[in-house]
Amino acid sequence: MSDSSLTRRRLLCRVGAAAGALVAGSRLKRLSMSASQPLTARAATSQPLRIGVVVPSRTGLTPVRAASQQVAGQAALQGAIMAGEELGQVAGMLDKQLEVLVSSAPTAEAAKRAAERLVDLEGVFALVGGFDVATCQALSGVADEAEVPFLNIGCASDALRGASCRRFTFHFEASAAMYLDALADWFVREGIRQWFFVTAATDEGRALLARGRYALERRHWGGKEAGSAEVREDEPEFGRALDAIARARPDLVVLLLGAVAQLDFLGQYEAAGLSYPVTGFPEAVAQTRTFFAAARNTAPRAGAGHRAVLWEASLDDYGGRELNARYRERWGMPMDPSAWAAWEAVKILWEAASFAGTTDGRALVQYLEAPDTTFDVHKGIGVSFRPWDHQLRQTLYLVKVNDRAESAWDLATLAGELPETHRPGFSPNEMLDQIGDLANRSQCHFGSGSSGR
């Protein structure tokens, strides 16, 4: 298979030159009209609807952390471009114009500059992007300042939905709480109850540990913590954590680490001869087939476990087969979750502007927050944004990494869907709210913004 020799080093380096070429193709032209106008006014002047997408892609020297995120960023860039092509045709049939402008931004500072340029010079009415907390915060700040909606497609941090929430930011990416609840639901139901957590020695790592404990002990009775170890991701020597795991003898080892640190840990875990099943926190890059190949090649046994994902390229139902097939035909590769997220985020913004009849940011926020606003994201159930933290309700999937795969297409096998959405007597929102934090746990306060709370 093409990824058979993929290692951690190659994961960090693998970003195609195509991304740069595509980004370079973005047009820069000062607009004479405001981004916020009724659609009828835009149509009368042939003014296109523009959506700005800011993703990490290779641009000269790139920090190591940002380089790993380029794997997810590249997929997102391709998904956004495909959405612009397909939905642009739909807009044309309605005598409208839709353009998706993409910009490369390997750091938070670069993302802020790119977003400001897209808003001020290109007149985009909404922003899409974000693959690390700093970048999401930067894009969220630009969105609030300019009063344009921002759809986060790659940051799972609960802090962004909590104390750091902002009025104009909406989260298409699932929250950390949703992923941890889904993992707990799946593994505890399968009788895998004794968990050992490995966490990063950071505030974000400790927050994940606290939420993981809550998911295991408070929401899924029968689950217990077998132990935990805190490690430094910038000093990847995990001997003490491995010794603690050997003593604890857990049913499952849960790596609440970044994608690169997960690969480092898996290699040492395999070499130590430990055999307990391992799963990892599904940050965006850790959901890609590039990561799956690297994990399996780094640790053929431990790296071929079960993983939570936002989307799976082998999904057949609810139009997923057709969407996955079109992406494969367009790009010649499976549709990774970040590609799907970018495609659907553009679709949501296009539909919101169309049905709300305006690109005014405040009006779009009100439309996206409205209880009766739902979207079809090819998951079989109408999804909506939670009003208390702007988190999109949606199902998640569990896949098994295939240790015998001979191609990228076979690297993951669908193993489950969470939460259960076919329960008589429950509304769609009640079923989808089985995972993630409800309003009574939210620390988000939007204040007296445009639409109130």
Instruction: Tell me, letter by letter, the H, E, C secondary structure of 180-199.
Output: HHHHHHHHHHCCCCEEEEEE
pLDDT per residue of the chain (453 residues) written in tens, 0 to 9: 333 334 444 444 433 333 333 333 333 333 333 445 555 555 555 679 999 999 987 555 444 445 677 889 999 999 999 999 999 999 999 999 999 999 989 899 999 999 999 999 999 999 999 999 999 999 999 999 999 999 999 999 999 999 999 999 999 999 999 999 999 999 998 999 999 999 999 999 999 999 999 999 876 668 899 999 999 988 889 999 999 999 999 999 999 999 999 999 999 999 999 999 999 999 999 999 999 999 999 999 999 999 999 999 999 989 999 999 999 999 999 999 999 999 999 999 999 999 999 999 999 999 999 999 999 999 988 999 999 999 999 999 999 999 888 898 899 999 999 887 777 778 888 889 999 999 999 999 986 544 433
Assess contact for 359 and 39: CB atoms under 8 A. Answer: yes
Residue 236 pLDDT: 86
Residue 424 pLDDT: 76
Residue 64 pLDDT: 45
Task: Work out the mean pLDDT of the chain and round it to a whole number.
Answer: 87
Residue 58 pLDDT: 58
CA 102/CA 105 separation, integer angstroms:
10
Token output for 22: 């595509």
**Which residues, other chains included, contact 323 with Cβ-Cβ below 8 Å and sequence gap of 6+?**
335, 340, 343, 378
CA angle 203/205/209 to nearest 5° reads: 115
Assess contact for 142 and 127: CB atoms under 8 A. Answer: yes
Give the SS3 label for residue 398: strand
Residue 67 pLDDT: 60
CA 142/CA 149 separation, integer angstroms:
10
CA 451/CA 182 separation, integer angstroms:
32
Residue 427 pLDDT: 87
Write down the pTM of the prediction. 0.89
Strand (E) or helix (H) holding 151? strand 150-152
Calculate helix-pair angle for 337-356, 320-331, nearest 10 degrees: 110
Assess contact for 130 and 152: CB atoms under 8 A. Answer: yes
